[in-house]
């Protein structure tokens, strides 16, 4: 895909996420890795609903700004996933309400923030990690993601929001949306003793789809 098309795609998905209330104000950021090792990334203090393709930040492989506006301060979150998950080609970070709410619940397992609720959660987001709270911009949050050693493509930052990677931008967006909807389901069903997918059902899915989920961490 050409750089022009990728810039347009970032703006299109950003507006879609913003219009549906998945990241308020100027929160959230999106990046796409380029063939030369550099990135396209949304600018700092920019609303995802009102992005200009020409002002998207273009970084080189060293992370230096080549063109466009000053990039988001959340660059370390993105680089932590790019550096540890080899197939990563895009990263989406939102402040989506239900995903943030989930991170505040006392029973959440940091190794598996959500149980096997639906096949689509497993297929798109896979097992989700929860990392502790750090103030925005603290380099320690990127270190915490690196500490996961690439075992997760979807990560929740406590009291902050999800950071999700994908093989392309569409995949990263769809996985982030699936994570948010699954967090919403979990909150709706909390305390009602719902039926989750059994370990056998998870194993059956794994035989047909490339799923990263370990049933022994199930709730």
**Beta-sheet strand order (sheet of 154-157):** 65-67, 57-59, 39-41, 29-33, 90-93, 161-166, 154-157, 128-131
Residues tagged active-site: 120
Does the CA dihedral 197-203-208-211 come out positive or negative?
positive
Task: Please tell me the distance from the alpha carbon of residue 167 to that of residue 179, in angstroms, as a whole number.
Answer: 16
Q: Name which of 179, 197, 163 is nearest 124 in CA terms.
A: 179
Confirm if 85 and 154 have CB atoms less than 8 A apart.
Answer: no
Q: How far is C-alpha 112 from the chain's CA centre?
A: 15
**CA-to-CA separations, 183 to 13, 54, 78, 87, 121, in angstroms, rounded:** 21, 34, 22, 25, 10
């Amino acid at each position: 895909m050409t750089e022009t098309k990728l810039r347009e795609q970032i703006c299109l998905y950003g507006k879609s996420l913003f219009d549906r209330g998945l990241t308020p104000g100027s929160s959230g950021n999106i990046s796409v890795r380029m063939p030369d090792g550099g990135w396209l990334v949304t600018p700092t203090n920019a609303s995802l609903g009102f992005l200009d393709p020409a002002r998207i930040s273009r970084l080189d492989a060293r992370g230096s700004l080549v063109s466009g506006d000053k990039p988001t301060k959340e660059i370390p979150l993105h680089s932590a996933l790019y550096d540890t998950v080899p197939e990563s080609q895009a990263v989406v970070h939102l402040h989506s309400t239900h995903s943030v709410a989930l991170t505040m619940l006392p029973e959440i397992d940091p190794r598996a923030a959500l149980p096997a609720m639906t096949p689509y959660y497993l297929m798109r987001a896979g097992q989700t990690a929860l990392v502790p709270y750090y103030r925005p911009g603290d380099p320690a949050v990127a270190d915490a993601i690196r500490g996961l050693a690439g075992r997760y493509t979807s990560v929740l930052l406590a009291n902050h929001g999800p950071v999700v990677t994908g093989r392309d931008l569409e995949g990263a967006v769809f996985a982030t949306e699936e994570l948010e909807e699954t967090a919403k389901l979990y909150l709706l069903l909390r305390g009602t003793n719902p039926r989750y997918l059994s370990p056998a059902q998870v194993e059956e899915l794994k035989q047909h789809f490339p799923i990263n989920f370990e049933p022994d961490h199930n709730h």
